[in-house]
Amino acid sequence: MSWVALLRVWWLAPMLVLGGGWWLESRSHADTRLTLGNERVAWTAALDDAEKSRLAAERRFATNLAQAATNYADGLAARQPIIVRSTNTVREYAQTDAGRVLCRDADRVRAIDALDAELAEAAGSAGGRAGPVRADTAAAAGGR
């Protein structure tokens, strides 16, 4: 082959160089694609584990929150006072041992009202002013 024949096909040289470069690059990219695929699988597994851990933590938090609310409600229920709703309830409660200790008889309540009236009268006569003490001293104290 002569040099003249090679000059006719000079355009084959850049094409061969470009084709060889493309082949080498595609092999390099295949390795990169395989590595990235393996990393995606590892990340997906890690994210799945993280998602499972997060869901488990949320489940534990919800359970703890429900348990705390139950404990709080039980504590409040244990502390609720006895609410008197009728005269019969008061009479029945006053007949129990606890009721005898806590319930005041009518004479004691009247004595408190009388003491309030005396204090109001003494305050009125001492300063001559009717200031914060109610003028109606015959009314029961505290709306009784």
Q: What is the pLDDT of residue 70?
A: 94
Measured distance CA(116)–CA(122) in Å, rounded = 10
Of 55, 79, 103, the last residue of a domain is 79
Task: Pull the structure tokens for residue 32.
Answer: 């990169």
What total number of domains does the chain contain?
2
- The tens place of each residue's pLDDT in the chain, 144 residues long, gives 577 777 778 888 889 999 999 998 888 888 888 889 999 988 888 888 888 899 999 999 999 999 999 999 998 888 866 665 677 777 787 788 877 766 666 666 677 788 888 888 877 665 555 555 555 666 665 554
Element (H, E) at 4: helix 3-8
Domain hosting residue 12, numbered range: 3-79
For 63-110, give the DSSP string: HHHHHHHHHHHHHHHHHPPPPP-SHHHHHHHHTSHHHHHHPPPHHHHH
Q: What is the pLDDT of residue 142?
A: 57
Indicate whether 48 and 70 sit together in one domain.
Answer: yes
The counts of H helices and E strands in the chain are: 5, 0
Indicate whether 73 and 92 sit together in one domain.
Answer: no
